[in-house]
Chain A
């Protein structure tokens, strides 16, 4: 049985930061389009920064990053990664132009509502594609665990949780009020992510040997991370929101935001680092 070791923390962080950044951008864009301009633009800015950080981790993983221009010269259109590169870049361009007024308010287009909306919507479309592509990227491999249809869904759901977490963090850092529906939304994505992840574990009896080995690995070598995911990533957001009923606490809000972010990171860590493949030799 072969445990994958080629993709380590750099790729995990790219998948995590990219997904979180894209989701935060989408959530912020929704509020921007509804009329909340100031905070949403800053959250979207944080989302783009998160994506850039993720891309830096990805580039540091590449064995020969200087050859990356070949993706543009001779792109392989059957590769999910090729699409991912273009989605990331287009998100960076349109999303970057959209969030730039948060840093430079006197840009020529920053006062034009139509132009800003157009940039935001185009950036949002590519942000959505970036968020979806991270799960599809690993599904298109030879590891039975990664091929599970629950994985792309899990990646999207946890990205949305982490995006909400980042939104809350930015709001708290800027001492602004974030929309309360964000908590209900993140609890919904957390619950669905819990179902998706747990279904991955419960499928073990009818799965191939390598898949079973992966689940066994999650519950043995990676048990600490699995426990942390369930206790902090899945349970803590519900416990914190229950504790917050009646009284609002900044500390608890920060715990909630961090738990949501940790949920996405741990999910990606567990899925990526627990992949086994059965080789004939």
Chain B
């Protein structure tokens, strides 16, 4: 069985934000065009499916910086799916957590249930929106837009159940961590934390 997963190597991330822009271009292009008419502040609000935060650590001369990536963790045990009253949030093909926009009523219960803050109300499409691992591209044999765009190869995507996939090998190497694992969500996004901060 296919189980899609992503590894984000924070050592490789240079904080360019290309993944964020690629995501908007691929998934929220029409909304972004409308947002541009409303001004810069509205355009800033487009950066919700995935975004990067810059975290500075230490003090000079031992100061460091790292870029943390927010993205839906596509949990195997997603709280957003269990709380959705209409079943609009569901686990789709390959374990990808998706939203059926027709069935979403906009109660935002899933927003409150997600321990990662990965969901948001998109008033342009009148539905909850979030990362889909670009499942429409994956179905056509392509990689998610953020993975293709990343100039430093910080994001790796693949089938975790395929022992030959790169994702599977990285995770098996034991250097990855899952965020908020204690929540019992079994996230399918793995992070390689910076070895030097």
**B-contact 0/1 string along A136-170, CB 8 Å cutoff:** 01101111001000000000000000000000000
B112 & A81 in contact (Cβ 8 Å cutoff): no
B82: chain A residues at CB < 8 Å are 76, 78-79
Instruction: Tell whether A281 pairs with B83 under 8 Å between CB atoms, given A67-B104, A140-B113.
Output: no
Chain A interface helix/strand/loop/mixed: loop
A195: chain B residues at CB < 8 Å are none
Q: B70 near A: Cβ within 8 Å?
A: yes
Interface residue count on the A side (C-beta < 8 Å): 34
A4: chain B residues at CB < 8 Å are 112
A7: chain B residues at CB < 8 Å are 108, 112
Q: In the complex, A171→B176 CA distance in Å?
A: 65
B85 & A63 in contact (Cβ 8 Å cutoff): no
Nearest CB of chain B from residue A6's CB, rounded to whole Å? 4
Instruction: Tell whether A6 pairs with B112 under 8 Å between CB atoms, given A64-B126, A281-B68.
Output: yes
Q: B43 near A: Cβ within 8 Å?
A: no
B112 & A143 in contact (Cβ 8 Å cutoff): yes
A140 & B83 in contact (Cβ 8 Å cutoff): yes
Give the contacting residue for A81; candidates B79, B103, B109, B114; CB below 8 A: B109
Nearest CB of chain A from residue B73's CB, rounded to whole Å? 10
Apart from A75-B86, A280-B68, 13 more pairs, CB < 8 Å? A2-B117, A7-B108, A63-B107, A70-B87, A70-B105, A71-B85, A76-B82, A76-B83, A81-B83, A141-B112, A142-B112, A142-B115, A281-B53
- What 10 A-B pairs are tightest by C-beta distance, nearest first? A63-B106, A70-B86, A142-B115, A81-B85, A281-B68, A141-B112, A6-B108, A280-B179, A82-B85, A281-B70
Interface residues of A (CB under 8 A from B): 2, 4, 6-7, 61-65, 67-68, 70-71, 73-76, 78-82, 85, 137-138, 140-143, 146, 277, 279-281
